[in-house]
Amino acid sequence: MPKDGGIGASTVRREDVRFLTGTGQYCDDMNMFGQTAAVFARSTVANGVIKSIDTSAAEAMPGVLAVFTGEDFVEVGGNPAGWLINSRDGEPMKEPKRPVLAHGKVRHVGDAYAAVIAETVEQAKDAVEAIEADIEELPAIVNMKDALAADHYVHDEIGTNQCFDWGWIEDNRAATDAAIKGAHHVTTLELVNNRLVPNAMEPRCSMAQYNRANDEYVLHTTSQNPHLTRLLISAFVLGIPENKLTVIAPDVGGGFGSKIYHYGEEALVLAAAKKIGRPVKWTADRTEAFLTDAHGRDHVTKIELAMDKDGNFLAFRTETMANVGAYLSNFSTATPTFLHGTLMAGNYTVPNIYVNVKAVFTNTAPVDAYRGAGRPEATFSLERVIDKAAREIGMDPIALRRKNFIKPDQYPFASAAGLEYDSGNYDALMDQMEKVADMAGFEARRKASEKKGKLRGFGVNAYIEACGIAPSNLVGVLGSRVGLYDAATVRVNATGNLSVMVGAHSHGQGHETAFPQVVAEMLGIDPQSIDIVHGDTSKIPFGMGTYGSRSLAVCGSAVVRATEKIINKAKKIAAHMLEASDGDIELKDGVFSVAGTDKSVTFGEVALKAYIPHEFPLEDIEPGLEETAFYDPANFTYPSGAYCCEVEVDPETGKVSVESMTAVDDFGNVINPMIVTGQVHGGLGQGIGQALLENTTYDENGQLLSASYMDYVMPRADDLPFYTVDHSQGNACTHNPLGVKGCGEAGAIGSPPTVVNAVIDALQSGGKNVTHIDMPMTPHRVWSAMQNA
Amino acid sequence: MTKVTMTINGKSVSGEVEGRTLLSSFLREDLHLTGTHIGCDTSQCGACVVHVDGKPVKSCTMFAAEADGADVATIEGQANEDGSLNVIQAAFQEHHGLQCGFCTPGMVMSAAALLKDNPKPSEAEVREYLEGNICRCTGYHNIVKAIMAASGQDVSAIAAE
């Protein structure tokens, strides 16, 4: 096994060199010969009837090559929802069409109703100004509660603003109601999970080429999953056969969910490239990103926790309104349901769970999965109500959690919310957290803060998430319209180096470094001789991409399976070369040898033999050394963690500062600890941002008030502390070959309730009976809560 | 159109620009120096930071014509002469101070400007200096650590990995 660069090594990332020297190739860094520019005309009203669009003046503008409106796409399909949810009464969800360009109505500010293709971006922008659109503004539907009561609709044809009314698990409802009715103590909490904009630093960009000779298209686009994008465009939107469409996601500057989805701009540039016979490129500016990238979260929730007289949990009951915005983005219906309701057991042995989710259309941007996707919403509700309950019954919040934790001998554990957890040890995580966070020293630190006139609080959280999305058979039963396997091809080249083609897509996760560590470990060769190929549908097998902390657990498992096939075949070739039986061949440190002898051949010699098959047993073995594996997981993976933080609150201003943040996670086995730690850091930054800074605000007319970095508060370096991250308490996943669980979303799931719990603790310590503050806990909100307490 | 001439990464370059052409656009579109990134339209994100006459500048806030005659440094010119990573770049790699890489050129250019003025910055000074550079991936931990390490300070006490 390689000492440097195998499993468990904190190998520095090979992709860094190009990013550090300015030689990365992001979509907007590329230009094509004869390239033209697309610019979109976007609605300035949240809800309106398109009476007419006159494009004649725009078409006559200098440099203009074509102008498109919704009329041009009436005959093609729409962008579909990837997951069918049935309401409690059995009725399927409402699925209004999501066209390439708005037709008939505009439904949110930023909804594109026309596009100009011109020689230059400036000419296209000028021509967009010359489009005369007569749009009759209608009252905007913004607030979810109002939307459900309204007698006018975001989509008139469906006659309601409710997409679905989902119950999970409906058969548990009566028992849950009864448990709450008969409980010794019930804690109730109403809360808002604030709406966020993912804000990958690279704005979306799409560039299309069309080759008339072969009727072929190439789309370069900012995607987390090029095959999924191609499938959606081919099967649902434009009907371009998949063999005629290549989708390439090159270096992508972050995603966090927002680049999972297919967007209309991708279809528009493809159609335009065919029409004008030249490449067409569109790059979003930041305002367009705020207006049109799928947003995240936006739940309004009431949760109840029922306990017996000893603090044993008897039931959780949740009612949530989930905003889906103006159109159903691809996974918008799965996020508040199966990625949220199924997690409502948390880390606890609670027997009764019922979750009701009403998904609501509003005249706002679509809402979909954002880092964590449903699981942060579940964790936030659970861990806030548990903290509140601990205060109400006078019990230490850690002790209350520990009392109800699932114990290590209970795995596999069937939760009342319908999942089977494979492994974990939540007490061990909590023990480690208490140790590394120096909980024993908290009171002294609190006194020191008080001396400075600050209130210090300690907040804790335990989370579980379901990652490694997902077993296709299971999600198929639950309404998914896609399978959620992944795929890898391992190609051993004749000279002994390897190209590994993967369905996962790296946009910050470091796959180019971590995946070779796995293969190098298995083959006993230098990881530097292994390169990862990703992001190009013409080069890689059909995989489902990167989201839901799935890359290593699902695609990494496919890499393992394909490498096992390589080893099996290579052993046969080695056996032939060594005139031995393949059952006697051993592979160690990149050398195949006959057990108990000194006869051996190197991995490189076997590779060369595979491609120069002289004296080769062609009747038994095909030439070449290349294998593909598809891997469909048997279950979700269940990362878990114990987090804590300490905050200081300035009682004069309400300003909160996070003084420390500790994350102890069970990710199972870890391939590259440096990368895993970095993933947690990023999630913590986003989670603290949600807790203290970030909010997406629409006014009553549906105007987005937070549409730039002047108004939407992104976490900056001086808003955040150094973090303490620990993943020493891993329990290997029991059902994938690497024993890995996934680490990409944990920080964003575990940190928001931790910060809120700490702020409440700080205020309580100052004698203020504040039991909840909605996120973001801005100085104004904290100060106001203190005044009203 | 106006003719501009400037030195970029030690080489003299000329071009014809419109009055409204931003320095960032001139670098990216005309000179194909695409390491300078555009992440916003309000001069907030800092992905486009370059040095103009030794001072850090958000190149989206400056017209190309204003840089006529200036000495401009971009990320493409930061590596050592033999092509190896310079001290700051190497520290970013060593301490995992980047993930998706999009904000990275601006971060490196800002870090270089900071260390020129303040060769041994404290944690608080680094964080304050980076106020104009937004990163969405790293939570800043490893960026701050990398910059302190690049300044020669011992960062081993800052949380592991």
- Kindly report the number of other CB atoms within 10 A of residue A664's CB atom: 28
Query: A464 has which bridge partners?
Result: A640
- Number of domains, chain A: 3
Contact between residue A366 and residue A330 where contact means Cβ atoms under 8 Å apart: no
A647 occurs within a structural domain: yes
Q: How far is B149 from chain A (nearest CA, A)?
A: 15
Query: Which residues 498-537 on chain A approach chain B with CB closer than 8 angstroms?
Result: 507-510
What is the identity of the amino acid at A351? P
Instruction: Give the C-alpha separation, A10 to B96, whole Å.
Output: 10
Tell me which of A11, A20, A291, A664 to substitute to probe the interface with B (most B C-beta atoms closer than 10 Å).
Answer: A20
Cβ contacts of residue B70 below 8 Å, gap of 6+?
Answer: B6, B7, B52, B53
CATH number at residue A249: 3.90.1170.50
Residue A368 tokens read as 């979909």
Residues of A in contact with B50 (CB under 8 A): none
Whether the complex's predicted ipTM surpasses the cut of 0.95? yes
Task: Give DSSP secondary structure letters for A628-647.
Answer: EEEE--SS-B--EEEEEEEE
Residues of B in contact with A718 (CB under 8 A): 124, 127-128, 130-131
Q: Within 13 Å, how many C-alpha atoms sit on residue A715's CB side? A: 29
Q: Is the dihedral of CA A482, A483, A486, A489 positive or negative?
A: negative
A529 pLDDT exceeds 50?
A: yes
Q: How much is the pLDDT for A3?
A: 53
Cβ contacts of residue B132 below 8 Å, gap of 6+?
Answer: B44, B46, B49, B58, B110
Residues of B in contact with A673 (CB under 8 A): 161
Q: How far is A380 from chain B (nearest CA, A)?
A: 20
8 Å CB contact of A17 and B85? yes
Instruction: Give the C-alpha separation, A32 to A30, whole Å.
Output: 7
Phi/psi region, residue A259 (left: phi>0; alpha: psi -120 to 50; beta: rest), is: alpha
Q: How much is the pLDDT for A335?
A: 97
Query: Is A770 touching B (CB cutoff 8 A)?
Result: no
| Nearest-CB residue to B143 (from A17, A683, A717) | A717
CA dihedral A709, A138, A40, A63 (to 10 degrees): -130
A69 pLDDT exceeds 90?
A: yes
Q: How much is the pLDDT for A1?
A: 43
CATH number at residue A775: 3.30.365.10
A76 occurs within a structural domain: yes
Q: Is the dihedral of CA A517, A522, A524, A525 positive or negative?
A: negative
Instruction: Give whole-number Cα distances, A121 to A125, A139, A248, A271, A284, in Å.
Output: 6, 33, 23, 18, 11
Q: What is the CA radius of gyration of chain B?
A: 16
Angle, to 10 degrees, between the axis of helix A375-393 and the axis of helix A397-404?
120
A311 pLDDT exceeds 80?
A: yes
Residues of A in contact with B33 (CB under 8 A): 22
List pLDDT tens digits, range A704-745.
Answer: 999 999 999 999 999 999 999 999 999 999 999 999 999 999
Query: B122 has which bridge partners?
Result: none
Residues of B in contact with A678 (CB under 8 A): 96, 99, 137-138, 142, 161
Contact between residue A162 and residue A93 where contact means Cβ atoms under 8 Å apart: no
Instruction: Give whole-number Cα distances, A223 to A13, A81, A206, A220, in Å.
Output: 21, 17, 9, 9
> What is the rounded average pLDDT for all residues in chain A?
97
Pick from A614, A631, A648: which residue ends a domain? A631
List pLDDT tens digits, range A459-514.
Answer: 999 999 999 999 999 999 999 999 999 999 999 999 999 999 999 999 999 999 99
A525 occurs within a structural domain: yes
Q: Is the dihedral of CA A233, A238, A243, A248 positive or negative?
A: negative
Q: If we measure between CA atoms, which residue out of A443, A430, A448, A455 comes closest to residue A644? A: A430
A507 and A621 both lie in a single domain: yes
A443 and A496 both lie in a single domain: no
A686 and A713 both lie in a single domain: yes
8 Å CB contact of B161 and A13? no
Residue A663's φ and ψ, nearest 5 degrees, are: -125, 115
Q: Within 13 Å, how many C-alpha atoms sit on residue A671's CB side? A: 31
Q: In what order do the strands lie in the sheet with A48-54?
A: A105-106, A48-54, A132-137
8 Å CB contact of B101 and A682? no
Instruction: Give the C-alpha separation, B110 to B50, whole Å.
Output: 8
A100 and A58 both lie in a single domain: yes
What is the identity of the amino acid at A448? A
A719 occurs within a structural domain: yes
Contact between residue A465 and residue A65 where contact means Cβ atoms under 8 Å apart: no
Omega of the bond leading into A541 within 30 degrees of 0 (cis): no
Q: How much is the pLDDT for B160?
A: 54
Query: Which residues 202-261 on chain A approach chain B with CB closer than 8 angstroms?
Result: 202-203, 251-254, 256
| Nearest-CB residue to A709 (from B45, B76, B103) | B45
Task: Provide the pairing of β-strand A352-361 with A313-325.
Answer: parallel
A653 and A755 both lie in a single domain: yes
A97 pLDDT exceeds 80?
A: yes
Contact between residue A515 and residue A500 where contact means Cβ atoms under 8 Å apart: yes
| Nearest-CB residue to B98 (from A16, A26, A285) | A16
Task: Provide the pairing of β-strand B71-73 with B2-8.
Answer: parallel
Residue A417 tokens read as 């919310």
Pick from A576, A607, A631: which residue ends a domain? A631
| Nearest-CB residue to B92 (from A20, A674, A688) | A20
A79 and A105 both lie in a single domain: yes
- Kindly report the number of other CB atoms within 10 A of residue A95's CB atom: 18
Instruction: Give the C-alpha separation, A741 to A278, whole Å.
Output: 45
Query: A115 has which bridge partners?
Result: A40, A68
Residues of A in contact with B94 (CB under 8 A): 12
A324 occurs within a structural domain: yes
8 Å CB contact of A28 and B38? yes
Residue A508's domain comprises 16-22+485-631
8 Å CB contact of A17 and B93? yes
Q: What average pLDDT does range B14-24 have in this prediction?
A: 96
A498 and A416 both lie in a single domain: no
A565 occurs within a structural domain: yes
Residue A581 tokens read as 């039986």
Residues of A in contact with B93 (CB under 8 A): 12-13, 16-17, 20
In chain A, the N- to C-terminal Cα span, in Å, equals: 62
A659 and A560 both lie in a single domain: no
B158 pLDDT exceeds 90?
A: no
Q: Within 13 Å, how many C-alpha atoms sit on residue A126's CB side? A: 12
Residue A746 tokens read as 């944990």
Q: In what order do the strands lie in the sheet with A656-666?
A: A455-464, A640-649, A656-666, A723-726
8 Å CB contact of A677 and B98? no
Q: How far is B131 from chain A (nearest CA, A)?
A: 6
Domains of chain B (ranges, CATH numbers) = 2-77 (3.10.20.30), 87-150 (1.10.150.120)
Q: How confident is the model at residue A4 (pLDDT cuts 50, 70, 90)?
A: low
A2 pLDDT exceeds 80?
A: no
Query: Is A418 touching B (CB cutoff 8 A)?
Result: no
Residue A253's φ and ψ, nearest 5 degrees, are: -85, 65
List pLDDT tens digits, range A530-584.
Answer: 999 999 999 999 999 999 999 999 999 999 999 999 999 999 999 999 999 999 9
A760 occurs within a structural domain: yes
Residues of B in contact with A202 (CB under 8 A): 37, 39, 100, 102
What is the identity of the amino acid at A603? F
Q: How far is B93 from chain A (nearest CA, A)?
A: 6
Query: Is A33 touching B (CB cutoff 8 A)?
Result: no
Instruction: Give the C-alpha separation, A750 to B139, whole Å.
Output: 14
Q: If we measure between CA atoms, which residue out of A341, A62, A23 comes closest to residue A176? A: A341
A661 pLDDT exceeds 70?
A: yes
A276 and A308 both lie in a single domain: no
> What is the rounded average pLDDT for all residues in chain B?
96
Q: How confident is the model at residue B161 (pLDDT cuts 50, 70, 90)?
A: very low
| Nearest-CB residue to B105 (from A22, A199, A203) | A22
A374 and A499 both lie in a single domain: no
Q: How confident is the model at residue A5 (pLDDT cuts 50, 70, 90)?
A: confident
Residues of A in contact with B101 (CB under 8 A): 15-16, 18-20, 24, 251, 253, 508
Contact between residue A388 and residue A188 where contact means Cβ atoms under 8 Å apart: no
Nearest CA in chain B to A25: B34
Q: In what order do the strands lie in the sheet with A313-325?
A: A162-168, A352-361, A313-325, A299-307, A185-193
A626 and A697 both lie in a single domain: no
List pLDDT tens digits, range A168-221.
Answer: 999 999 999 999 999 999 999 999 999 999 999 999 999 999 999 999 999 999
Pick from A631, A659, A675: which residue ends a domain? A631
What is the identity of the amino acid at A50? I
A725 and A625 both lie in a single domain: no
The three-state secondary structure class of A487 is: strand
Q: How much is the pLDDT for A238?
A: 97
Query: Chain centroid to CA A656: how far?
Result: 28
B159 pLDDT exceeds 80?
A: no
Contact between residue A631 and residue A558 where contact means Cβ atoms under 8 Å apart: yes
- Kindly report the number of other CB atoms within 10 A of residue B25's CB atom: 20
DSSP B38: -
Only one residue has tokens 């990023």, namely A682
Contact between residue A455 and residue A657 where contact means Cβ atoms under 8 Å apart: no
List pLDDT tens digits, range B86-97.
Answer: 999 999 999 999
A6 occurs within a structural domain: no
